[in-house]
Structure 1
Amino acid sequence: MARKKSFAVIGANNFGMAVVRSLIEKKQNVVLFDQSEVKLNTQLGEFEEVDGIVLDSTSKGALEKAGITQFDGIVVSFGTSLEVSITTVLNLIDLDPNLNIIAKARDVRHKRILKAVGLDDGQVIIPDTISGKIISTRVLYDIDVDIQSAGEDFVSTKLVVREPELFGKTINEADLTANKDWSIISIVRKHKVILAENDSILQEGDKLFLFVRTSLVNELILKIQGNTEIEEIKK
């Protein structure tokens, strides 16, 4: 099973809470930071397993005292205030330039600034742009499964093993080994995460997380989830 990691989410806004919710669903350890105690108490009402800490992230000393450098990943979710976002990122880089930081940007200008202060392109995301890519990809290719991210040619998604012919077969025997068009990253079975290997045996109900060429998603749906799923998509 994959090691449980610890993540810091800085900013208890809608984006930050969406990240918290997703990480909790993946059984990870999460600590939420925000300058407002009221906002923390309000947002964390549904999350018994998440700790909330009042913190002014524009203070490098406060971040250091909170042990921010000990987290496996840090998500900076501020988008409204450029000053707070930029100052927070600068403080984090100053504390440790090797931190695993993901920062939200509200627009292209904000993203350019965050890249200028030290983040790589892949560390800065504009949620509206990502949502637009995902929606346009689903519409363009008539895809009716959950798409978690979309690039120019590939998407990441989750498919459930429902085709009886695959039950009990290895990934290799099922002709699903990694190639230039797709790669199965992991298998989730009864809440356990298994790294996908060629000799991994597929079982009914396994959730396969994979990267796949966009034009071949429906082909894999047929192969992994069976004819029923395709017929439902065509209706």
Structure 2
Amino acid sequence: MARKKSFAIFGANYFGLSVAQTLDEKKQLIKIFDYDEERLNLHINQFESVEGIVLDATNKNALEKNGISQYDGVIVCFGGNMESSILTVLNLIDLGVENIIVKARDERHKRILLALGLEEDKVIIPDVITGKMVATKSLFDIESEVQSIDNEYVFTSITVYEEDIIDKSIFDAGLISNKDFNIIQIKRNGKTILPDEYTILKEGDILGVYAKNNVVNDLVLKIRGEQEIEE
């Protein structure tokens, strides 16, 4: 079993709390830092195992005393306050933190963070990502959950309902991985399966598929068929 990783999250706002909730569900070790004690106390009780610490992240000494360089990942979530965000990132870099992910307010904020040495994929503008997902999703003729995208590919979940492929292997169903798509995983009865070409597909299997945008509609029809999704 892979070891738990430790994460420091700066900012008890909606974005930071959403990140914390996802990591908590994955049984990771999490601490949320925020300078506003009242706000921190208001939200920390929704978690069973997440610790909250009152701290000003622009204070490098305070970060050092809390062993910030020992975390596997540090996520800076208060993108709305650009000055605090930049000062926090500078402090983290000075203290030798290697895995830093930052929420940026806009492209200007992102350019500054990149100039500080952060990698492109470590700077997140949530509104831009959401906009891309909505735009990509609008291309699909059949409703399908979009989880992440890049310029050409999408990662999405498609549930097996099409009778023609139920109880067939991935090979026999004509769903062998190729340059256009790849079935990454299958979720079945609460368990995750890493499939190969001999894996048998069952009704209700949720396939995690990484595919080119232009083949998603065809995959949805092949895997889910004309099944209507209840609102």
Deviation at 1:91, TM superposition (A): 2.0
Q: Which has the greater radius of gyration?
A: 2
2:86 aligned residue: 86
1:23 and 1:30 in contact (8 A); partners too: yes
Q: Kindly indicate whether residue 185 of structure 2 is the aligned counterpart of residue 186 of structure 1.
A: yes
Question: Percent of aligned pairs with the same residue?
Answer: 52
1:88-147 Cα deviation digits (max 9, x unpaired): 1122223235x2222111110000000000111111111111111111111233351221
Deviation at 1:155, TM superposition (A): 1.4
Q: Kindly indicate whether residue 61 of structure 2 is the aligned counterpart of residue 52 of structure 1.
A: no
1:211 aligned residue: 210
Q: TM-score, normalised by structure 1?
A: 0.84
Distance in structure 2 (CA, Å) of the matches to 1:4 and 1:198: 31
Change (3 A) 1:24 1:203: farther
2:32 and 2:52 in contact (8 A); partners too: yes
Where in structure 2 are the equivalents of 1:97-136 lying within 5 Å? 99-136=98-135
Aligned residues: CA RMSD: 2.6
Deviation at 1:198, TM superposition (A): 4.1
Where in structure 2 are the equivalents of 1:151-230 lying within 5 Å? 151-229=150-228
Paired letter, 1:180: K
Deviation at 1:48, TM superposition (A): 1.9
Distance in structure 1 (CA, Å) of the matches to 2:70 and 2:162: 43
Secondary structure at the aligned position of 1:119 is classed as coil
Deviation at 1:213, TM superposition (A): 1.0
Distance in structure 2 (CA, Å) of the matches to 1:218 and 1:64: 51
Distance in structure 2 (CA, Å) of the matches to 1:5 and 1:192: 21
Paired letter, 2:184: I
Larger helix share, 1 or 2: 1
Secondary structure at the aligned position of 2:139 is classed as helix
Change (3 A) 1:24 1:187: farther
Moved more, 110-119 or 219-228: 219-228
1:10 and 1:34 in contact (8 A); partners too: yes
Q: TM-score, normalised by structure 2?
A: 0.85
Distance in structure 2 (CA, Å) of the matches to 1:68 and 1:200: 44
